[in-house]
């Protein structure tokens, strides 16, 4: 399976000119990739200005819970799609902190999938404890956010494990590849219980939270991540492009096969 590297530009940059310049630098690098897909998620206003390319798709950072109606300031899933996005990030911790509940996220997830968008669903605990008390929190998020999602829609689902405490820092603030691997196996178990073993294995599980060129390769190799979600480092084309090159060079299909048997247990 191709690695997926998602750029979450958040509320950056300020101008269309800067957005275009950053995008074009990444587009050039993406066109040379062989085993990696890139998804750039700019602020929605920039979507129509940017053209997807080889190995490069566009995503939005949010949609509204309704498809049409009198909702001042909101943007619908259909509008996002017509603006050029194939993906949408949902359940990001920065939106959860603004008050988005799992119920609301679930509505958005189902609406996005129905509209034909691929969903990048973010889950992650706010604080980490040594006893693993955060694992039921992860399970709860996944179960609620994916309620009534059909088996047919699972192919359009990507999960990002993004511990909230790891977001926004240097490489040393990130989770470790070993702990990511354990947590991603846990996530697959929850998905397997919900959708069955075979479908669960098809869902890419990405890591997000202080990904930099210094730690990207470790998450993709020893962490066996299906990909990465990159925040602040995606605003620096040189750093982001070197993360893309690491992704393209990493390969570990045989070890993924080993984990399949662990998930089965
Ligand atoms: P970060 O952000 O890479 O700056 O930690 C990741 C995210 O919140 O999407």
* Tens digit of each residue's pLDDT (9 = 90 or more) over 12-38: 999 999 999 999 999 999 999 999 999
Give the predicted TM-score (pTM) of the model: 0.94
Active site residue 125: no
Active site residue 162: yes
Q: What's the rounded Cα separation, in Å, for the pair 191 and 33?
A: 30
| Set 92, 100, 125, 239: catalytic member | 92
| Set 100, 125, 162, 224: catalytic member | 162
Distance 94 CA to ligand 1 centre (A): 10
Distance 69 CA to ligand 1 centre (A): 32
Say whether pLDDT at 260 is over 90. no
Q: Is the distance from the beta carbon of residue 209 to the nearest atom of ligand 1 less than 6 Å?
A: yes
Q: What's the rounded Cα separation, in Å, for the pair 220 and 188?
A: 17
Share of the chain above pLDDT 90, in %: 90
Say whether pLDDT at 186 is over 70. yes
Give per-residue pLDDT as tens, 195-254. 999 999 999 999 999 999 999 999 999 999 999 999 999 999 999 999 999 999 997 544
Nearest residue (CA) to ligand 1, atom 2: 231
């Amino acid at each position: 399976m191709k690695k997926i590297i998602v750029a979450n530009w958040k509320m950056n940059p300020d101008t269309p000119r800067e957005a275009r310049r950053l995008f074009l630098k990444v587009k050039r690098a993406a066109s040379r990739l062989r085993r990696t897909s890139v998804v750039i998620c700019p602020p929605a206003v920039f979507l129509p200005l940017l053209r997807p390319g080889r190995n490069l798709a566009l995503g939005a950072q949010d949609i509204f819970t309704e498809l049409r109606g009198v909702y001042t300031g909101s943007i619908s899933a259909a509008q996002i799609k017509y603006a050029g996005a194939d993906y949408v990030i949902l359940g990001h911790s920065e939106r959860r902190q603004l008050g988005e509940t799992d119920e609301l996220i679930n509505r958005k997830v189902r609406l996005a999938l129905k509209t034909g968008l691929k969903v990048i669903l973010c889950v992650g605990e706010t604080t980490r404890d040594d006893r693993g008390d955060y694992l039921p929190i992860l399970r709860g998020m996944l179960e609620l956010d994916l309620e009534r999602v059909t088996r047919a829609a699972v192919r359009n689902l990507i999960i990002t494990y993004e511990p909230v405490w790891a977001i926004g820092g240097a490489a040393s603030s990130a989770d470790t590849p070993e702990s990511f691997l354990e947590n991603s196996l846990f996530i697959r178990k929850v998905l397997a219980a919900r959708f069955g073993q075979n479908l669960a294995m098809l869902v890419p599980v990405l890591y997000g939270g202080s990904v930099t060129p210094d730690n990207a390769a470790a998450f993709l190799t020893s962490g066996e991540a299906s990909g990465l979600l990159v925040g602040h480092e995606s605003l620096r084309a040189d750093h982001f492009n070197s993360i893309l090159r690491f992704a393209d060079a990493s390969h570990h299909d045989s070890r993924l096969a080993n984990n399949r048997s662990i998930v089965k247990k």
